Amino acid sequence: MKESFVLFTILLIAQVATSQSFNTFPVTTQKPPLHGRHWMAVTGKPLAATAGAMIFSKGGNAVDASCAMLAATCTMWDVLSWGGETQALIYNPKTKKVIAINALGVAPTGATAQFFKDKGMKYPPQYGPLAAVTPGTPGGLMTMLAEYGTMSLKDVLTPAMQMAEGYPIEAQTANSIEREKARIKEWPYSKKVFLTHPGEQREAPYAGEIFVQKDLLETLKKLVDTEQQALKKGKSRKEAIYAAYDRFYKGDIAKEFARGCQEQGGLITEQDLANWKVKIEEPLMTTYKGIEVYKLQQWTQGPVMLQTLNILENFDLKSMGYNTSRYIHTLYQSMNLAFADRDFYYGDPAFAPEEPMKGLLSKEYAKERAKLINPNRNDPKIGPGDPYPYEGKVNPYTDLLKVWGNPQSNLYNPLNEKYFEDFAAGTTSVEAADKEGWVVSITPSGGWVPACIAGNTGIGMSQRMQSFVLDEKENPFNVVEPGKRPRVTLTPSMALKDGKPFISFAKQAGDEQDQLLIQFFLNMVEFGMTVQEACEAPSFITNQMFSSFGDHEKQPGSLILNNQMPPWSRKELGQMGYRTSYRERTSGPINAIYFDWKNGSFWGGSSNHGEDYGLGW
């Protein structure tokens, strides 16, 4: 009897220990947290983080450093390039306000829904010149630098130019080029840049090979030369940077970009480039337990996080326990309610119709949405709500809502790796902060491998056109039109507490971004994790929203869990109607900076998911 009792006690202790290993948070992390007193730089590649450190060491501020990191990641094709788009939040310590940077390109002349339908397409294509919106990253970088930086364009672009002269390419990018070489061969300018061993068994560069980009280097030199000439003529630092901006969008660079695009079948014209402008905007914000959380406007998916936090305020998450089946279920359902609204209501606010953002972000609307959650069962038929009454209006789209999103049209398939690759399509993130109080969070993207390079510019064109829809029944706010921005997944984040920066955070990976950023945020706020623990802690992924890529599929009831999930939790979630699959890593990559005001220092976090890396001082 005594032996049986001892055995039962041992088994009980073992079960509790196993439970706590998942339902609490890691005591140790695979990567150490970063600490700094003067500055912090975190981004998608070690060399790019070094570029940021170089700028800080020369006296630059966080904006200067973030621009250098952005330029370096683009030059390294870190799942993006110079022809892509840049989305940023900047905290200005002088005004104590958060600023939003909208450097997303627009659909070119001729890019109408009917144009793509006439080609037999259900959505704009994923790859090639017809997938391209106008390039936004060069303009975004130069605008941020001119308005909020302190250094010259020459200083900030020097690391990227040195890399364009030749840098040792890492295995991840080199192998991606080799996998995609068949598509790359369709485009002559891409073939010239990427396939350094034409005709050999491996035509892509080898890991560690010095990868040279002569055309891109020439383009960057033109920008710097224009700036330097303007300075010699007595122009101010800001005016000189904007002179380089004009050369890119209105000068010989624009001419060659448009020519190279059109030669390969694209639509972008010189006038499209000349008409495009970066927008400096007011971000959207909500509060969660007194913490101000900032996101970009509804041309991104960023408001999804704000909506979800509003819904979650109606529940006691901490009492549920970290990553218990009840916690996962509540968060999953809350996110899906917000994502259904994203799928139907989000779009470019510069175009009619006007998105009902006041209603969507109201606490009252969130409370009503929260009432729809069945505490015991997944609802695969979750659809958009009606936010219009919460801003005193009548919904003009009730007929479309009645026929929206048949959840049986896309059946769950755990082996559909193509779907998962599209859903989690990568980008990178850039986080920077300095002792003067400047904070920057950027999620740039576009022009990833396999990229179609525009003529002799060395610049890969964006593939963001695929995020539009062609049928208003799917989303009347996001139907493609010339000059319109697609609703994108890219979503930097910033949180303020007691009027001061609290966390700056962002991640890559398509439609995953906000759902994993929410979990990261709750890891710190509800469960007291450090920033590094929160970056590495196992998360879960829902595929119940429509993908913003490829065929825009959805997989109702799909739940991707971490391999650490204990068997009893797996069983409980299965009983709730979830169709589960498992992955070894589900946490990121997330990059973040936490502001330790008590000790006057920064904590940097970077998940153990990819090649993301940070430096601090």
pLDDT digits (tens, 9 = 90+) for 172-184: 899 999 999 999 9
Rounded Cα gap, residues 503 and 516, in angstroms: 15
What pLDDT does 142 receive?
A: 98
Nearest CA to 543 out of 559, 567, 532, 529 is that of 559
Helix and strand totals (H; E) in the chain: 23, 19
For the chain, percent of residues with pLDDT exceeding 70: 92
- Residues 209 and 117 placed together within one structural domain of the fold: yes
Rounded Cα gap, residues 261 and 239, in angstroms: 29
Which structural domain, as residue segments, surrounds residue 592? 284-288+302-423+513-596
Residue 390 is encoded by which pair of tokens?
């919460």
What are the C-alpha distances in Å from 544 to residues 21, 310, 420, 591? 28, 20, 12, 25
pTM listed for this prediction: 0.93
Q: Give 97 or 562, the one with higher predicted confidence.
A: 97
Helix (H) or strand (E) holding 581: strand 579-583
Region of poorest pLDDT, from 200-209, 510-519, 525-534: 510-519
- Residues 71 and 194 placed together within one structural domain of the fold: yes
Region of poorest pLDDT, from 183-187, 426-430, 443-447, 585-589: 585-589
- In the chain, how many domains are there? 2
Residue 38 backbone dihedrals phi, psi, to 5 degrees: -100, -40
Q: Mind listing the pLDDT tens digit for each residue in 41-78?
A: 999 889 999 999 999 999 999 999 999 999 999 999 97
For the chain, percent of residues with pLDDT exceeding 90: 79
Does residue 334 sit within a domain?
yes
Q: Mind listing the pLDDT tens digit for each residue in 245-291?
A: 999 999 999 999 999 999 999 999 999 999 999 999 999 999 999 99
- Residues 121 and 186 placed together within one structural domain of the fold: yes
Convert 51-83 into a string of H (helix), E (strand) and C (coil).
HHHHHHHCCCCHHHHHHHHHHHHHHCCCCCCCE
- Residues 265 and 193 placed together within one structural domain of the fold: yes
Average pLDDT of the chain to the nearest whole number: 91
- Residues 70 and 218 placed together within one structural domain of the fold: yes
Mean per-residue pLDDT, 205-218 = 98
In this structure, how many other beta carbons lie within 10 angstroms of the beta carbon of residue 281?
14
Does residue 260 sit within a domain?
yes
Answer yes or no: is pLDDT of 412 > 70: no
Does residue 327 sit within a domain?
yes
- Residues 186 and 66 placed together within one structural domain of the fold: yes
Residue 400 is encoded by which pair of tokens?
């479309």
What pLDDT does 404 receive?
A: 87
- Residues 448 and 530 placed together within one structural domain of the fold: no
- Residues 183 and 257 placed together within one structural domain of the fold: yes
Q: Mind listing the pLDDT tens digit for each residue in 382-397?
A: 999 999 999 999 999 9
- Residues 159 and 117 placed together within one structural domain of the fold: yes
Answer yes or no: is pLDDT of 6 > 60: no
Rounded Cα gap, residues 508 and 526, in angstroms: 23
- Residues 206 and 134 placed together within one structural domain of the fold: yes
- Residues 192 and 309 placed together within one structural domain of the fold: no
Rounded Cα gap, residues 608 and 428, in angstroms: 14
What pLDDT does 318 receive?
A: 96
Q: Which residues pair with 603 in a beta bridge?
A: 35, 594
Does residue 249 sit within a domain?
yes
What pLDDT does 406 receive?
A: 53
What are the C-alpha distances in Å from 110 to residues 51, 61, 103, 481? 39, 41, 21, 8
CATH number of the domain to which 368 belongs: 1.10.246.130
Nearest CA to 511 out of 262, 390, 335 is that of 335
Rounded Cα gap, residues 269 and 257, in angstroms: 9
Rounded Cα gap, residues 340 and 250, in angstroms: 40
Does residue 478 sit within a domain?
no
Sign, CA torsion 407/410/412/416: negative
What pLDDT does 26 receive?
A: 52
In this structure, how many other beta carbons lie within 10 angstroms of the beta carbon of residue 605?
32
Residue 483 is encoded by which pair of tokens?
């000059």
Nearest CA to 149 out of 72, 232, 65, 69 is that of 65
- Residues 249 and 345 placed together within one structural domain of the fold: no
